[in-house]
Amino acid sequence: MDIKKINIAVDGTASSGKSSVMEVVAKKLDLHMIDTGLMYRAYTKLCLDNNVNFLNENEIIEQLKNFKCHYGENNSIFVNDKDFTSYVAQYDVAENIKYVASVSKVREKMVELQREMASDGGKIMVGRDITTVVLPDADLKIYFDCSAQARAKRRFLQNEKNNILPNDYEDILRQIVQRDEWDKKREVGALKIAKDAWFFDTSDLNFEQAVDAVVNKIENL
């Protein structure tokens, strides 16, 4: 199998390491990594900038008219030609993304864009419903998981390193547990484990071990 022509679909819980691990894997194997979560985060930021009421679904949908996005180098993301990369990790984005991600018309548009991006192969696409909805026929499907406590600690340390404030472990843990519940119970694009996906638990692995395990899995397809 020509690795440079395959599509790899990756789903998993928030902060389970899927994006950071797969970004390095993509560089090692000369593939293009697309973190679809950035699209939802960028859209949430656009809604915040336009003072959208997140309890009003019609207001959220209305912003689709003003949403054009593309990825740049190093998984940077641009909305209407403005670099949104530095905004997508903000606290208010994390607090409100669940409202955006649960709107069916928003997800339909995102899925359409994501399928277009993967149409020529050579992609590692990371998200919540990639293995089950976006790319159900991907050459390899991976489901990342990790304990909520380990994920909260990782995000806390990452925020500390990047000087992202506010940064409180208990608040991060609460966000992660709440996000898991939303992801798994929402009516549209719910987080599920595809029957033919490789279940990959990163709880007891360091970063390098996780990268090596995934690279080995891909090279042995």
20 annotated as belonging to a binding site for a ligand: yes
Handedness of CA 24, 12, 17, 203 (dihedral sign): negative
Q: CA 212, CA 196: separation in Å to the nearest integer?
A: 21
14 annotated as belonging to a binding site for a ligand: yes
166 DSSP 8-state letter: S
Cis peptide before 166 (omega within 30 of 0): yes
36 annotated as belonging to a binding site for a ligand: no
15 annotated as belonging to a binding site for a ligand: yes
Q: Which residue has the tokens 């207001």?
A: 59
Q: CA 94, CA 112: separation in Å to the nearest integer?
A: 23
- The Cα-based distances of 60 to 46, 104, 114, 180 in angstroms read 10, 11, 20, 22
19 annotated as belonging to a binding site for a ligand: yes
Query: Judging by beta carbons within 10 Å of its beta carbon (0-12, 13-18, 19+), is residue 19 exposed, middle or buried?
Result: buried
Q: How many CA atoms lie within 13 A of 118 on its CB side?
A: 27
Q: CA 112, CA 124: separation in Å to the nearest integer?
A: 16
203 annotated as belonging to a binding site for a ligand: no
Q: CA 153, CA 10: separation in Å to the nearest integer?
A: 22
18 annotated as belonging to a binding site for a ligand: yes
Q: CA 220, CA 157: separation in Å to the nearest integer?
A: 33
> Which residues does the annotation place in the binding site for ATP?
12-20
> Which residues does the annotation place in the binding site?
12-20
